[in-house]
A and B are shown apart, each in its own frame.
Chain A
Amino acid sequence: MFIGLYNYWVVIVLMMVGFYIVIAHGNLIKKIVGLSIFQTSVFIFYISMAKVDGGSAPILADEINQYSNPLPQVLILTAIVVGIATTALALALAVRIKEAYGSIEEDEIQKQDNLD
Chain B
Amino acid sequence: MDAFIHISSSLFLLIGSFLCLSGGIGILRFPDFYTRMHAVGVTETLATAMILIGLILYNPDFLVDVKLVIILLMTLFISPTAGHALANAAMLNDKMQKDDNKQNSEVKSSTS
Asked if the two chains touch in their complex, CB atoms less than 8 Å apart, one says no
